[in-house]
Structure formats: C-alpha cells, structure tokens
Amino acid sequence: MSTVKRVKTVLNSGQPDEEVLVRGWVRTRRDSKHGFSFVELNDGSCMSNLQVVIDAEVPNYAETIKSVSTGCSISVVGTLKESPGKGQRIECHAKTLDVVGLADPETFPLQKKRHSFEFLREIAHLRPRTNSFGAIARVRNAVSATIHEFFQERGFLYINTPIITTSDCEGAGEMFHVTTLDLAKLAQVQTQIDYSQDFFGKQASLTVSGQLEAEIFATSIGDCYTFGPTFRAENSNTTRHLAEFWMVEPEMPFYDLADNMTLAEEFIRTICREVLSRCPEDMEFFNQRIDNTVLATLDNIAENEFIRLPYTEAVELLAKSDKKFEFPVEWGHDLQSEHERYLTEEHFKQPVILFDYPRTIKPFYMRCNDDGKTVRAMDVLVPRVGEIIGGSQREERLDVLTERITECGMSPDDYWWYLDLRRYGTVPHAGFGLGLERVIQLVTGMTNIRDCIPFPRTPKNAEF
C-alpha cells in the first residue's frame, strides 16, 4: 500500500503511472453517460482539487458511487494519468474507492453555489471547506511562519507573555475580568467587591497587550518579541475590530523611534513579499474573486518606501483637503478610519507612518517630547485597512514616567516593577504591535476582519 499523498504534492509533482493513495472531501461529482464518474477531491493542502476518475474498474462501482456526494470524505487508491481535460496536468484513475464518511445531500449546507460571507460566519465549523476560507487559513499560516522567521533571522528571542494579568497596558480600561468569585451572589450582600478574596488576591483580567512584560525581557536579554492572543472589551462593531485578536509585539533596547519605524516598515514589506511567493495560487484567487487590487497593492508595498509624517502635519493636510469627511479633523483627536484611508488610498497612495501624536490620546508608556504636547508614538497606516501597527519609543526616564502614570489617572504603586526597569539600568527602547488579522485583511482583500480569524469573538458572538 502506498503512503498517503497530499493533493498539492500530487498536482505539483505526481508522475503518470504512479500509484497514489489520496484522502479528502468531495467538492463535486459528475456522472458521465458512458459508465464513469468524475469526482473533485480537496484535502485543504491547496486551492485546486484533484480530479478522480471512477469507473467500472472500481469494485462495486454502481453501488458505491451513489453515496459519493458533496461534502463526504473518501479514500482513493489510484493511478495517475496525464489529464486530457483542460485545467489540470494530471488526474487520478481510481482502483479502489472507500467512502469514509457520508454527507447527507439534503442537509449539507455547502452547495456548489457561492455563499455570502455573512452566511458562512454562521457555519464557521464548515467554512474552512470552502475555497475562500481554505485560502485564508493557508495565508494566515504563511504569515505566521514569516513573522517568526523574520525575527528569528534577526536574533530576536521569542518570549511568552501572560494571558492573565493585573495591569492595564493600554490604560483604556477595556478589559475582560477574570474571577472565580460568585459575583451574582456577592452583589446581594455587598456593594463593593473585595478582590482580595479573589483567586489572584487582586482584580485580574485578560491581557490587552504583552508589551509591558516584553519590555522586561528587552531590557535584560535584548531584542525579543511576543506573539499571542490579546483581548479587548471595546464595544466596537466595526469591520476592523475583534474582542480577541492576535498581536505580534517586538521590543528593542537602544532603539529610538526612527529605528522602530525602519524595522516596522521592513517587517510589513517582508510579509507582503513572502505571502506573494509562498501562496501564489491563493493570492491569485483573492485577486480574481475578492479584490482585484490586492496583488498590485502588495507589490506596491513590497517595493516602495513608506511615507513618514508627523501627526500635526497630517492634520493640516487633512484640514486643507477638499474631501468631505463625516468626522471633522481636529488636532488632539484620534484620526478616524476615513482620514487614515484618505491618506493611504487617495493622497499618498502608499503606506504612511504617522508619528508624534498628542499625549492626551496615547497611553502612559510613550516617551514625552520636549514640546510638552506630543509623545513619540507611531501608527503605520495601510490602504483599505488603516492602522495596522501601533508603536512607540518608551519613556525611559523614571521621574517623567511616574508623573505620566499619575497624569493618566493610574497609581505608580501598581506599576512598581515597570518603574523598576527605569530605576535600575534604564535604556532608551522602543517597540510596536502588529495586529495579525489586520494583516490578513490587507493581504487577502477581505473586507471584514471576522473572516480573517478562524473563530471570531465580537460583541454578542462567541459561538464555536
């Protein structure tokens, strides 16, 4: 018996007369009047199906073929032959066919027609069996591998930061609390919850970012990165926000903001270049079926330098433009997605790194500029998606940081260990966070971030 071959291997390197064992799920079956059938077999290894020809040579052909329907799983031993048909180099002529698992054609939800992404979201357990979601899964895998390789090649250490935390990195208070207390019961007897009685002895949450812990390692073992799930309880029902998303956060000692920008830019350019070279078939599909500008956009990003522009100049530029925005542009406010998209899609037509944001709209850890009004923040904006990276140079001065924590309404005592990093051998340092699902949006052209993660968590939605 031959060993199992993935469809991708068969299609790429299978030779005529070779005997193969293939397994997977049936996409379609067509019966010819001349006593044989064509089955399109997909096993997720690539976009293309393997055409399997089944005829009377297969024991019990007439009976078996009846149960072969879209969605069922089969195992086939067969011989490869050059395909006379268009669209494939090679096909498989079955010698034996086992139906491993049936799929009732009356109820199987994925039929040949195109389904809306909204509908597919309701069947997230079956959507990876479609062309689009198979391709997204492969691209997501390629991007994750590229992320690790990018940092590993540069000598960055991969560190794992905690998911349960007692600090609020972004200081926005948008955290999911973690407790073993019976809050419903407690609410009947006390108005204030006593978290000293809780599992961790104080109020704990799911992390919004691994940055603060990454800084501990950056200021001890050097360049490092953390890559994991992060959680935000912001009630934003947009096409760019998830309650649970994956973020990669590098942190580098002795980097200033300009070094940080250079690394971020190289990072995004590398991801675009690698996804084009690792997933050509899937990328062709996205360009044809999802958004016919993705290939051009990725090429453009991979080849050209990003624009670097202070926030203040961006606000002036937006205020002077003829474009009618829904939200007015005003210094001191966060830019809206429409402003970010105008800059990248219409004005510059390429990624833009904005920096030196007003201190009032950015977290406590960013380094204060001498103007007293801005901090060394940077956001990398890309076409269609807007902000894809947020980062900064960190405040390394103990006195300034302590003051900033207080100014942000937090208690320096709660951040004693973070302040210790400035008390003992402080160094200038910087880092950034890249949202993985926003990258997937960028490279695939998918418009809704809920389709860029296998099982999206959003307000009122945590099925699967």
Question: Which residues contribute to the site for ligand 4AD (CB under 6 A)?
Answer: 169-170, 209, 211, 232, 241-242, 245, 247, 249, 387-392, 431-433, 435, 437-438
Smaller CB separation from Mg ion, 351 or 390: 390
Residue 55's DSSP bridge partners are: 36
The answer to whether residue 386 forms part of the interface with Mg ion (CB under 5 A) is no
SS3 404: helix
Q: Which does 438 bind (CB under 5 to 8 A by kind): Mg ion, ligand 4AD, none?
A: ligand 4AD
Outline where DSSP puts E strands in 254-332: 307-310
Q: Which does 14 bind (CB under 5 to 8 A by kind): ligand 4AD, Mg ion, none?
A: none
Q: How far is the CB of 170 from ligand 4AD (least distance, A)?
A: 5
Distance from C-alpha of 36 to C-alpha of 58, rounded to nearest angstrom: 10
By beta carbon distance, the residue nearest Mg ion is 390
By beta carbon distance, the residue nearest ligand 4AD is 390
Q: Which does 432 bind (CB under 5 to 8 A by kind): ligand 4AD, Mg ion, none?
A: ligand 4AD
Outline where DSSP puts E strands in 262-385: 307-310, 352-358, 374-382
Contact window for Mg ion (CB under 5 A) among 55-63, 189-197, 332-340, 390-398: 390-398
* CA distances for 255 relative to 196, 289, 300, 425, angstroms: 39, 42, 27, 15
* CA distances for 464 relative to 61, 71, 243, 408, angstroms: 38, 20, 15, 38
Q: How far is the CB of 371 from ligand 4AD (least distance, A)?
A: 21
Q: How far is the CB of 343 from ligand 4AD (least distance, A)?
A: 15
Sequence-separated (6 or more) residues with CB below 8 Å from residue 192: none
Contact window for Mg ion (CB under 5 A) among 6-14, 173-181, 360-368, 382-390: 382-390
The answer to whether residue 435 forms part of the interface with Mg ion (CB under 5 A) is no
Closest CA to 336 of 434, 238, 194: 238
Distance from C-alpha of 392 to C-alpha of 363, rounded to nearest angstrom: 10
The answer to whether residue 14 forms part of the interface with Mg ion (CB under 5 A) is no
Distance from C-alpha of 439 to C-alpha of 72, rounded to nearest angstrom: 33
Among 71, 134, 351, 390, binds Mg ion (CB under 5 A): 390
Interface residue list for Mg ion (CB under 5 A): 390
